[in-house]
Amino acid sequence: MKVLIIELSNLGDAILTYPALSALWAAYPGAEFHLLASGRTRELFQGEPRIHRVWAWESQAPPWIQLALVARLAGLGFSRVVDFRNSIIPLFIWGARRTPILRGPSPDGIHRADLHLRLVASLGVPPAPAAVRLPFGPQE
């Protein structure tokens, strides 16, 4: 199984996806995870051993460069797509189960990390069984 994760572009928001990512890793232990991230968050995930490849999304790149990347991703045979960004990219990944594209407004009073857990729950993924540890070493 291959899973594409489309990550948020702000560092703090990306960190808040870790409980949902942990739930995905626990639910699909043998899966190959790919992550599409912007420049600000790519570095956070580069050293994560559970991610097979981090793809660079350049929001300032010309549209044909962005489309070429989406086409390349579409050809990799992902069976799941988790889109934290709520983009149109999952529409190009044929045959994959994906998180909902049309989402209503976020309910008031619910922590962002809990909203991310609800998003992956839409794929049948239960919450992570243990506390989440961020992959930071002493240097970071």
Q: Cβ–Cβ contacts within 10 Å for residue 111, how many?
A: 10
- In degrees rounded to 5, what are phi and psi of residue 120? -70, -25
Q: Cβ–Cβ contacts within 10 Å for residue 25, how many?
A: 17
Q: Give the predicted TM-score (pTM) of the model.
A: 0.87
Contact between 2 and 31 under an 8 Å Cβ cutoff? The reply is yes
What tens digit of pLDDT does each residue of 78-130 get? 999 999 988 889 888 888 888 887 666 677 778 888 889 999 999 999 887 66
Mean pLDDT of the chain: 87
